[in-house]
Structures are given as C-alpha cells and as structure tokens.
Structure 1
Amino acid sequence: MDKRSVVAICVVIAVIAIVSTAINIDHSSKEIKNSDPSRNITDQEGRNITIPTNVTRVAALAGQAYEKLILLNQTDKMAVTISAWTNLPWSSKIAPQLKNIPIENDPNVEDLISKKVQVVFCLSYDGTKDKLNSSDIAVVVTQKNSGNPDNIDSFTKYVKQEIALYGEVMGPDAKETAEEWGAYFDQKVNYVTLRTKNLTDSQRPTVYYARGPDAITTQGKNSYTQFYVEMAGGRYVAKNTDKEGLQSVTMEQLLAWNPDVIFVGRVNSTDIITNDTRLSNIRAVRDKRVYLCPQGVAYWDYGAEGVLLMEYFAKTLHPELFQDLNMTNEVKDYYLRFYHYNLTDDETNRILQHLPPASY
C-alpha cells in the first residue's frame, strides 16, 4: 500500500471519529435536556406555558410580583426584580432580603440567562412577553390590562387564580400557602358582602378613586378598585369608562360625577384633591369625605393586600354595618398569617395612615 493510500485511510478514520463524537455529544445533550422534567401551567392570559418542574430562579418583573413571592415565602428564589418595591418601604421592612436582589427594570435576555432565570413573571402590557418570546425562558403573565372580569363573581375567581398561579409555578409549599390565602380571601369577601348585598342604590354612596399622581388619574371599568368598592357597598363612578384599567378622565367628568366619597391612593396625602380649588364644591370635599388609602408591602389597589382594602372601604363607607370590624386587628392578623411578621400597634397604625416605618 503506497503512502497516499495510507493517508486517505487515516483521513477517513478521522472523519468517522469526529462524526461519531458529534453524534454522541448531541445525543448526550438531548439526554440532559430530556432529563430536566417540565410541566405545563395556564397563565392569566389563558396561554399554556411549559415551565421546569422545580423552579428555583425567577424574575419578578410584574409590578406586584415581589409581593406575591413574599406572601408565598419564596423571596429567596427571586434572581431579579424591578424597582417598584423601593417606593414601598414596608416591603423591605417585612422582607429585608429584597435589598440584596438585583433591580433591573428592563433586563435583556442575555442578562436573565446569565442569572439562570427559569421563569419570568410579567404583565400583559409591559412588553416583556414579546421581548422574551424567542428565548427558552418561560414567561408567565400574571395580570392583563383588558379582557378583565366584568362582574364580582368572576373578579373574585380571577384574583384567587392570580395567587394560585404564583403558587403553582413556585411549587408545593407555595401552592399550599396560595390555597390558604384563597380560603382567607373567600372568608373576608363573604363577611363583607353578606352585610352589603341588600343595600339599595340610595344607601350606596358614590365613590371615586384618585389613583395619583393627580386628581384625574383613576382606574376605570373592570378594575380591582371598582369591585372592591362595590363589594364594600359603594357605587363606583368610573365603572362605565370607555376603556379598562389605568387612565385619565377629564376634570369636567369628575365634576359631573360629583362623588359622595373620594379615596386617594399611591400618593402621600389627599392634597391632589383637597388643595385643588376646582374641586372645592364636589360633595366629597364639602363633606370632608376624602380619605388616603393605607399602604403596606404593596399598593393595596392591585396587590394581594387588596382584600384589606375591601375591608377598609367597607368600614369607611358603612361604619354602622361594620362596628365589629377592627382594621388594626385585621392588618396585624394578615401580616402574621402570611408574612410571619408580628406588627406592633404603632406599626399597624402607620400602615393604615399611609406612613412608612418609623425607622425609614
């Protein structure tokens, strides 16, 4: 056999070896991938999402996602979150580990991969879903801006479904806590609505919610605040707005509504209403029925603590029906039950008065 033949045979052997190795590597990688079990869940948009069986690294990119993870005792699994909690000092008071979690309001795919994120919690309208669509990271929508429930029954199911979704993603312990929260929610809803369901329209004060940062920003039809007000025995004046969710109305519309009561949220005082001379003749201002909503680990208008907001609305709108409702006790019980934090009376009163922790 001449030298040229020997070289040809060696080349063939080398090629075969390389191809065989590549096949083995590919086969091994597939085995590794297949060995990572997965499961399917349905998010709040009704999408079927495949997630790992054991979720240990998540990105809490929905505004209130961090609150849900604190609620379910899953804070240690947050690989990244957004800055929403930094405006709510009770969040880091209750869960100090938040201070050690990277904050990224607009993380890119590569960054999330480098942090080994398995699941991203986001809103339907913040752009995150579309941006991550081509990645292997599971994107779970927790709240949507349109197509929301349009009656109290479907709303209560939707709210419980949101908490249950977080529980299902995060695993058995979280799922158990989510179920406990759902039972608690049902109990409080029944407690309030049994007393308000037979009120006539004339017995239900009209209510406007000034969401801040100004007087004309509100949450319109099919919003959480609409249903909490209605369950609490009020008539929500913005229930028939043209669109759902966060929006601005005109000053003329607010004056025409002339609400009996105004609740103010997400700002630190009622000044956006009471210091605006254009609103001085509104019934709520004349009758001094403008109230600053409490604020805790999250904004009460769209967080899990909204169940407490419903009770607060009920106590404020109908004190004669809820003489036995002690909001200090309700808040203390909630924080101990779900956050495992024993609030003092002073701390509880600060939450109810929309004040930060004394040490803040």
Structure 2
Amino acid sequence: MRMKKRRKKLILLFCLCLALLGAGCGTGPTIKSHTITQIDGREIQVPVDPRRIAAVYGPAYEAMVVLGAEDRVVVCADVQFENFPWAKKIFKRIGKLPYLVNVHSSVSTESLLQYQPDLVFTFARPNELRQLETAKVAAVPGLTSQSLDDVKAQLMVYAQALGGDAVHAAQRYADYFDKKRAMVKAVTDAIPREERPRVYYAGVDLLTTYGKYSDICELIEDAGGIAVSGGLAAGNRTQINFEQLAAWNPDYIFVDHGGMNDRNTVEQVLKATYQTKRYQAIHAVANRQVYLSPSGVFYWDMGLQKILLLLYMAKILYPQEFASLNMAQEVQEFYRDFYHYDLTDEEAERILNRQDP
C-alpha cells in the first residue's frame, strides 16, 4: 500500500514539473500580453496588468492620474512638472518621482531602462521606439490628435493598455467630454458663419500656429469662431510669417505653450504683442482681444483639459450667450472628478488667471 501511495505522489510530482516547464519554468517568467490598437490604426503588444509604468510623453502623466494609475508610475519627465507648479501641488507623486530630462529633444533609452518599466508611454520617435523594442519593453507612442474625438480615443488607448478599472475611467471622461461639447455646440451651431469672429490660436510665440491637421481648428469652430489657419496644411505649432498673420487679420488671438523649451512665457508674448508697432493694425491687437489660455496642471491645448479650453473660448467669444457658464465652477468640477482634488474658489481663479498656487 505504501509503495502504491508513494508511486502516485511521484507521478503527481512529475506531472507538476512538466506543467511548470511547459509554462516557461527554467527560462524566466512568461509575461502575458495582449494587443491594443493606437488611434492611427497600428497594433501594439502590451503586457497584461502592467505594474511599472514610465510616463514620459508630455500628457501621459495627467492621463495616468485620470485613469487611476498614478501609483504605478516609476519615472516621469521633467517638463511634466517644471513648467506646471499646479501639477506638483495636485498630483500626489509627481514631485517625488525620478525623472528624465530633455525629453522633447530625445529620450535616453539607457536612462529609462534603469527604472525597469514594463510599459512606457513615450513619444512617437521611430529610433527610440526601435530601441525599446530591441530591449523587449512595451511602448505606446503618444500621437497628436487631429480631431477632438481623438482626445477621448487616445485616453481609451492608454486605458486599454492599463486594463481593469482604467477603461471605466476613460469612458467616464468621454461621457463628460461629449456632454460639455454638446452644451457649447447647442448654442454655437446656430450662429451663422457671417456673424462669427475670426480666431487665431498661437503656440510658443505669436507666429507659431495650428493648421488643419490639428484639432485646435475644430475646437475654434465648435466654440463659434472661424479658424483663420484652418486652410493651412500643417499640424501643431507650425511657423508662419507676419504677412500671413496680417492677411488673416483675426478678431481674437489666443496664446498657449509659452515658456516651452526656454522660450518666452505667454505673459512676455502678450506684452511684446501689444508693444510691437506692426501688430497694431491687426484687429485682435487693436481691440485688446488677445487672451492667454490657462494651463493648471498641463497645457490646455494638449492634454485632457482641452474640453475646458472649448468652454473658455466659447465664453470669451460669446459672453452674453454663455452668461450662465461659470468657468471657475467648471474648473473645480473637472479637478474634483478627474484629478481627485477639491480646488478652492481662489485656486480655481488663479488657474484661470495663469497664476501659480
């Protein structure tokens, strides 16, 4: 009897070893992966339930907070907090994490791999993506949205890469986005084109703008304006000359992205605009209708606060039609629901006025 029992135990042990070997025992743990599809259609293999995340691409850290994955971030980028004091105040960990430098120029793969990420949200630069592929580290490149719907779609791609509750968080953001956008368009869609103001959106400096391959032109149109750069065959932050701006002669100018890459701040851009003689003939300058886009934890024209930019612009272009729209309350609602932070009335006003905490 004892011999039979012993034989059964040996057979069970042998079967268990075979099963472990079949699962990869002896060659290191097998990481399960699945396929997600980026907004441009490319398919990307990512690990199931990634636990060590590198949020390197500019808007990626903000997305991790909204998706409930901030605690999984092991390294970020200097630009995500150096220009945004509100990020260090509102995001729980960003000021305590190690970070990579000069990411707008290039990301050092060697430095990045020191933090042993199993998933990297990074820039869409082919050489860097190839290096991560060679190192067998999954990477999701961030893409510039060409339509407002891409803002929601890109967040959902990130959510699908993270898995779990992140997908529900992304859908909640999408529902909010659609609700606020519909609220604005219910008013602006009824405004005839001949009654709409001409709007120019500047980034980095006054002669850098956004063309038809950017979602900013669509945002301007939704807010009730005419995007003067809508026929420009370009994407984000494209250089033009003064003659082009003068020919467009916008009624309103909005400025964002000041201070990027050690350039002038938006406040300096605004001051120079009003003081430069040749700009005085432009309607927006002559009528003191040049506005600075708020930023808060990140640029409003790049990250998930873009829906707030739509509300903000509509309120400026049509103050009477949107008299009941309280931007301070809208900012407070957004920060509470998506960043999990309760702004005071004063803090909300400071964000709207581009003031530090």
Distance in 1 of aligned mates of 2:23 and 2:185: 60
Q: Which runs of 5+ in 2 are unaligned?
A: 1-20, 259-265
Match of 1:200 among 192, 200, 222: 192
For residues 206-217 of structure 1, the aligned pairs below 5 Å read 206-212=198-204, 214-217=205-208
Question: 1:224 corresponds to which letter in structure 2?
Answer: D
Of 37-46 and 120-129, the range deviating more from structure 2: 120-129
Aligned residue-pair number: 323
Q: Is the 8 A contact 1:73 1:339 kept in 2?
A: no
TM-score normalised to structure 2 length:
0.85
Distance in 1 of aligned mates of 2:113 and 2:23: 21
In structure 2, what is the equivalent of residue 261 of structure 1? 252
Match of 2:55 among 47, 54, 60: 60
Q: 1:112: how far off?
A: 3.3
Q: Is the 8 A contact 1:216 1:248 kept in 2?
A: yes
Deviations 1:88-139 (A, max 9, x none): 1111110141112111134443443332211111232485324323221111
For residues 28-177 of structure 1, the aligned pairs below 5 Å read 28-30=25-27, 32-34=28-30, 36-85=31-80, 86-104=82-100, 105=103, 106-125=106-125, 127-144=127-144, 149=146, 155-177=147-169
Question: 1:180 corresponds to which letter in structure 2?
Answer: R
Tell me: CA distance 1:356–1:128, structure 2 relative to 1, closer, same or farther (3 Å): farther
Distance in 2 of aligned mates of 1:251 and 1:127: 35
Distance in 2 of aligned mates of 1:126 and 1:68: 22
Distance in 2 of aligned mates of 1:29 and 1:197: 64
Q: 1:227: how far off?
A: 1.6
Of 121-130 and 40-49, the range deviating more from structure 2: 121-130
Deviations 1:152-209 (A, max 9, x none): xxx2332111111111112212211111000000101110111111211122110111
Aligned-residue identity in percent: 34
In structure 1, what is the equivalent of residue 15 of structure 2? none
In structure 2, what is the equivalent of residue 179 of structure 1? 171
Q: Is the 8 A contact 2:35 2:46 kept in 1?
A: yes
Tell me how large the CA RMSD over aligned residues is: 2.0
Higher Cα Rg, which structure: 1
Question: 1:263 corresponds to which letter in structure 2?
Answer: F
Distance in 2 of aligned mates of 1:44 and 1:58: 20
Question: 2:215 corresponds to which letter in structure 1?
Answer: Y
Question: 2:246 corresponds to which letter in structure 1?
Answer: L
TM-score normalised to structure 1 length:
0.85
Q: Which runs of 5+ in 1 are unaligned?
A: 1-23, 150-154
